[in-house]
Structures are given as C-alpha cells and as structure tokens.
Amino acid sequence: MNVSSHASVVSDRGEAAYKLKRMTTTTVNSLAKASSAYLRSAMHQPIHWHEWGEEAFALAQRDNKPVLLDIGAVWCHWCHVMDRESYDNPEIAQIINERFVAVKVDRDERPDIDSRYQVAVSSVSGQGGWPLTAFLTPDGRPFYGGTYFPPSDGYGRPSFRRVLLSISDAYQNKNADVVEQAGMVENAIAQAESFAGHSSEFSPDVIDSVVQSAQRSHDERFGGFGQAPKFPHSGILDLLMDRFARTGDESIKEIFHDTLEKMARGGVYDHLAGGFHRYSVDERWMVPHFEKMSYDNSELLKNYVHAYQVTGWEFFANVARDIIRWMDEWLSDRERGGFYASQDADYSMDDDGDYFTWTLDEARSVLNEEEAEVACLHYDINEIGEMHHNPAKNVLYVRASVEEIAVRLKLSNERVAQLLASAKAKMYAARLQRPTPYVDKTVYTGWNALCISAYLAAARVLSLTDVKAFALRSLDRILTQVWDPETGLQHVVAYSDPEAQHRQVPGVLDEYAFTANACLDAYEATADLRYFKLAKQIGDAMVERFFDSDAGGFFDTPTTSGQTLGVLGTRRKPFQDSPTPAGNSVAAIVMMRLHAYTNDATYRDKARQTLEVIAGMAGQFGIFAATYGIAAVEFAHPHTQIVIVGDGDMADALHNASIHHFQLNQSVLRLKTVEGELPPALMETIPNLPGVKDGKATAVVCSNFTCHPPIHDPVELKKLLRHLIN
C-alpha cells in the first residue's frame, strides 16, 4: 500500500473513531453547522452552544446573562476530559443553559480570540492553556476564568458546578463588582503587550542576553530548558547553533547537541512512526502528552537539519528524515498539496496514549523471541511501564543502544540492528490495526508555511527531490487558493470535513510573515523569480495591513479590521515565541531578507523599528525571545548571499560546500545561467562579474551589497565563508 492510500485509510479510521466517541445522543445543537472539527465534536452535547459572533452576544445582552466561553482544540486531551465530565453531563448542561450564553471557540481556527482571552484569564487566575474557561459580561469583557475545572472539588480546583453557580450568583447579585473586575481585566489585556516605555535603540547585546538565558536554564542532566513539563524550544536551538557556528564555543554546542539527542531518544519522540509529540510531562523527555502538531514538527525538522549541517552527525539527518516520513504519511494531502494541522492524543474518551504505548504481552504477541528480546532491551519494555492510568503500559524510549545490546546478547551489531528494524516494522504494523487517533485535516495557511519552509530546508541539505516538489506544490496551493492582492491572505485553506461550509477567516500577522518567508525559501530553492515577487507582494501587504507607523512593530490583526466584539479591539504586538515563532520577529526577518534582495532601505528601517519596540526589555523574555534573537542576528550581521552559476560536477561541489555551511543570515541561489532575471540587488552586480558568463562553474559571495571575486574551488569557497561568519 502506498503512502497516500495508507494515510487515507488510517486517517479515515481515526475520524470514524473520533465521531463515535462524541455521539452520546441523537439530538444535535447549532455546532452541527460549524466548519471546525473541534466545534462539530460538541454537536451532540446537551448544551445550547453558540459559535463566536454577534448573535451570541446580542442574546446575552437581551437576557442579561453572562457568557461562558470555552476555548479548546481537537487535539487537546484535557478538553476531551472536560467534555466528558462536564459538558456531556445533563445536570451541568441545565445550569449552563439556564444561567449562561455558552460560546465555544476553536483556538486553531481563531488564534486572535484565543490569544486575548489567554491573557485575560492569566491575569485573573495565573493560569493559561487549554481548555480555556472564561466568564464574560454580555459585551464580551472577561471577569473570571481558569483552565480545566473538575466535576467535583479536587486537584486544588473547585468543581465546575460550584464555579458555575457562584459566577451566576455573583453576576446577578454583585454586578457592580463584576463590572469593575471586567474593567480591571480589560486594562490588563491592554497593558500586556503595549510595551510602552520599553522601546529603545537596538543593540546586538540582546543576542548575548537570550543565549545566556538558555545557558542558565539548560538542564545539564536531561537536556532541554527548565524542569517539567518540558517543551521543545526550537527557536533557541537554532540561535545556539548559529552562535556555535560563529564562535566554535563547545559549551554552546553541548547544549543543543545534548538536547536534540535526548529528545530524539526519549519517549517524546515516536520511535515507530517518526515525529514528535507536543511536550513531555517529565523532565527526562520520557512520558509525553501524545498529541502531535504540524508546527512542532516543522520547527524541529529545521532544528535537526541545521544540527546535521553544524555537526555532520548522521544521527541528526536520520531523525530529520524520520520526521518527514511521519509528516508525509499522516499530515500530508498527497493529492492536492498541503499539510494537515495535527493528530489527536487519544482515540476515545477513555484513552490516555494507549494507541502509542505497549504492554510487555502486546510486544511479545507480535514479535518472535529474538526480536522481542532486542526490542524490550532497546525500548525498556517491562511488565511495569510509565503510564499511571495503566502501569502495564510502556512508553517507547531508547534505554540501550545497538552496541550495548550486542555486547549483552553476544551478537554482532549488524544482527542486532537487523532484529531491531524487523521488530519496529512489526510493531508499527500492529499499531496501525488499533483504533487510530483523529487527524485534523484542516489546512491552516500559517502552519503550512512553516512546514513548507522546513521541507525546503531539508530537501536542500539532504538532497530530497520529492520533498522539495511536495513543498512547492503545497505553497502553490496556498498562493492559488487563499492569497489575493486585494483581500489579502486567509487563515484557512481547507477544513477537515470536506462537506463543511468553508468559512472565510482573515489571516493574522503570522499568516503573512510565515508565508512571505516561505516564498523567499522557495525562491532560494528554485531561483524562480515568481516566488521572490510574491514574497515581496505579501511582505508589502503585511506592512500596509499590520505595521504601526507611529510606534513601530506589527499588530497581530489588521489595523483596519474593525473587529471590536468582546476584546478583539485590543491591539497586540506578539514578540514572544509560544507555541510558534513570534509574528513580529518573523516579520522583521522578512523585512531584512527583502532588504538583502532589493537594497531598499525602507525594509531595513521597518525591521529596525520593529526590533526597537521591545529593545529595552527583550532580554527579559529569555528563551521565549529566541526568534527575536534570530531577527537580531539578521539585523546585526551583514547578510551573505552565495550565488552558484553553472552546471555539472564542479557546480554541484560548489553548491554542496555552500549548503553545508550553516549560518542564519545566509542565502544560497543555484543558477544554470544569469540570462534570466535576478532580484534588483543581485542584478546590479552578478552578471557583470568577470568569469560569470564564460561557462565555468562559479560561486559569487556577496556580503552587505559587496561581492567578492568569483570562486571556482569548493575549498576556497569554504575558507571564505568561514572567514565571513567569524
């Protein structure tokens, strides 16, 4: 069975399982008409849910009821738990229906709503995450909230029933206090990212501050940053690799090398299918939250590709190929192009990672004796595993290497590797027969752009022609379906259910920044000037729609959006990475890349103004300012452009020397001739250099709009690149 048909079968099976677990009654509420898979999953709940919109808030004002806002996601385990425990409960539903207007939001579909109410709830309770449970005045201003509320008092939280009754009583009997609290929370949202008083002249010292923060928070024992729970912080890993490439500091190398290796050997990595789960609940990367996100895997794919460039260790290249294997098989629309959003952690309400974990008996049932012995030693499969809900369940992680097992069993390394490969294939085939967690086939523009950039990076470094072709097909789909110079970018390319009504959701800053960046990556991968022109077009639209011409920086929603429902009118300038790269930081990177190709100083000026918005406090964000640090590298160091002209073995050698040299602010273009068009800054110099047109394979390195003499020897090219980065 080929990848496309196999992915379709397992995904359809997962979709059927997901629908079955939600169908607890034959009646449906208004969410049956929703486009979002997460909202439709609640269509059978006995709650009179509303989608976000004028109608719900008008009803709340007419009936003078507070609004219960639930924000979650289809991949969210605790969202499903709260669904089962509370929202499926007729008694709880009756309280909600009588006393509240209930609104449900998919955080993936509406990141603008989620980001604002996350700040609101955090200011009230100190909590954030999903499910987000917020209580609003009828005009949408939050006054109380939290995340998961249990059905009975416990976990240090009051029962959801008690919360509902208390909030309802407070709203009716202490309304003045509620309104005052709502005003305070609204002010907290407005202040959260105003950055007033924090603008300053940009200094490259901020790069040192962010790097030092990573050094301080690095877990020397288990890798990663901080303690449990542990998330992959992809931006800081890239920044550390750039710092190591420039300085040769072995202590920096130890941080990213150790982290990437231990993550890939831990349970947070799916050793059978490939790809990473969202995060680890423990400090050892052993027991994950099992959902798998497209954006986590796209950014980690870039990390492992870059680590291979920096270190040359094939282990990192193999992990990168394995991430692609999983994304190809599970998250790719092989027919039309595009990447799906996520895979759920669970296949039913009673599941907690059972699809991904193994009992000793389950492993032995599908393996022969030799395979079982090797697999159990390698993955530490025992009678007692790591899962609290079922202690017999084992999370697969690498406990013993092939070499260690070979010594213990008195076998050759080759024989152990052979047995392990056979065991993995059999276990994966057996796992595919289990009920499969739901794959959300929604195609989001911004997340797709991240995946496209990652695929293009991997294709270039690892020479993966098919991967490059799929990335370009996916980008072409976005540019064809959801980009229009007049109306801009849309947030959603396609919904998971092809029969669902397609809702037009305007793109936020992330869509523009990530997509413009992906277009520049596509130009560098193909030398097709069409992609450069589209990058410039989208970048210009981003400036026009989102840039704050008064104070600098980019708002996350268009300056003329007119969105004032609830707290959507509150302006935000996202600078912190969480969970995807910060929109302002990527926008600044796009501005710098466009400046490098056009020598148009207005782009550099926009980048400078953006970086200066929080220049006085960026270092305080620590590793959450990693993409800001990357933008600072782009701004502080002269850009380097390598243009390879020619064909044949020597041109290939020059190209390989270029792409295996890692630095963040570097581009590589491969041209057979210079007869075609080039971006303005290169058109002025490249065609006129001696030796470029004589048919000889040539490398031209340009830095800060000055080109070095043409080079025809890969060794000399490497020397020059090393000189320029130091």
Tokens at residue 511, please? Answer: 């869509």
Q: Where do we find the tokens 């959260």?
A: 192
Q: How far apart are CA 112 and CA 52, in angstroms?
A: 12
Q: Tell me how far apart the alpha carbons of residues 209 and 622 are, in angstroms, rounded to a whole number.
A: 7
Higher pLDDT pick, 94 / 618:
94
* DSSP letter string, 62-102: HHT-PEEEEEE-TT-HHHHHHIIIIIT-HHHHHHHHHH-EE
Sign of CA dihedral 656, 658, 663, 668: negative
Between CA 401 and CA 381 the distance in angstroms is: 14
Q: What is the CA radius of gyration of the chain?
A: 26
Q: How far apart are CA 299 and CA 513, in angstroms?
A: 15
Q: For residue 489, list its beta bridge partners.
A: 483
Query: How confident is the model at residue 22, as a pLDDT?
Result: 46
- This prediction's pTM: 0.94
Question: Once rounded to an integer, what is the mean pLDDT over residues 584-603?
Answer: 97
Q: How many angstroms separate the CA atoms of 47 and 255, rounded?
A: 49
SS (H, E, C) 597-657: HHCCHHHHHHHHHHHHHCCCCHHHHHHHHHHHHHHHHHHHCCCEEEEEECCCHHHHHHHHH
- Give residue-wise pLDDT tens across range 254-294: 999 999 999 999 999 999 999 999 999 999 999 999 999 99
pLDDT digits (tens, 9 = 90+) for 619-677: 899 999 999 999 999 999 989 999 998 889 999 999 999 999 999 999 999 988 877 67
In contact, 239 and 210? CB cutoff 8 Å: yes
pLDDT at 563: 64
For residue 25, the 8-state DSSP code is S
pLDDT for 676 equals: 65
Give ∠ CA 213-219-225 in degrees, rounded to 5: 50
Residue 688 DSSP label? G
Tokens linked to 639: 């850009």
Cβ neighbours around 312 below 10 Å, total: 10
Integer CA distances (angstroms), 156 to 86, 151, 152, 159, in order? 17, 12, 11, 10
φ/ψ of residue 577, rounded to 5? -75, 115
Assess whether the region 34-192 and the region 640-725 belong to the same CATH fold. Answer: yes
Q: Where do the structural domains in the chain lie, given as residue ranges?
A: 34-192, 360-433, 640-725
Strand order in the sheet with 67-72: 49-51, 101-106, 67-72, 132-136, 142-146
What architecture is the 640-725 domain classified under in CATH? Answer: 3-Layer(aba) Sandwich (3.40)
pLDDT tens digits, one per residue of 12-64:
544 444 444 444 445 899 999 999 999 999 999 999 999 999 999 999 999 99
Residues 690 and 76: their CA atoms lie apart, in Å, by: 59
Q: What is the pLDDT of residue 562?
A: 62
What pLDDT score was predicted for residue 592? 98
- Class of domain 360-433 (CATH, top level): mainly alpha
Orientation of helix 445-462 relative to helix 465-481, angle to 10°: 160
Helix, strand, coil shares of the chain, percent, nearest 5, are 50, 10, 35
Measured in whole angstroms, the distance separating CA 137 from the mean position of its chain's CA atoms is 33
> What topology does CATH give the domain 34-192?
Glutaredoxin (3.40.30)
Question: CA dihedral in degrees (571, 575, 580, 583; nearest 10)?
Answer: 60
CA distance 118 to 130: 9
Q: What is the pLDDT of residues 250-265, one digit of tens each?
A: 999 999 999 999 999 9
The whole-angstrom distance between residue 396's C-alpha and the CA centroid of its chain comes to 24
Residue 62 is encoded by which pair of tokens?
A: 């007419």
pLDDT of residue 2: 43
How confident is the model over 394-405, as a mean pLDDT? 97
Burial of residue 539 (number of CB atoms within 10 Å: 0-12, 13-18, 19+): buried
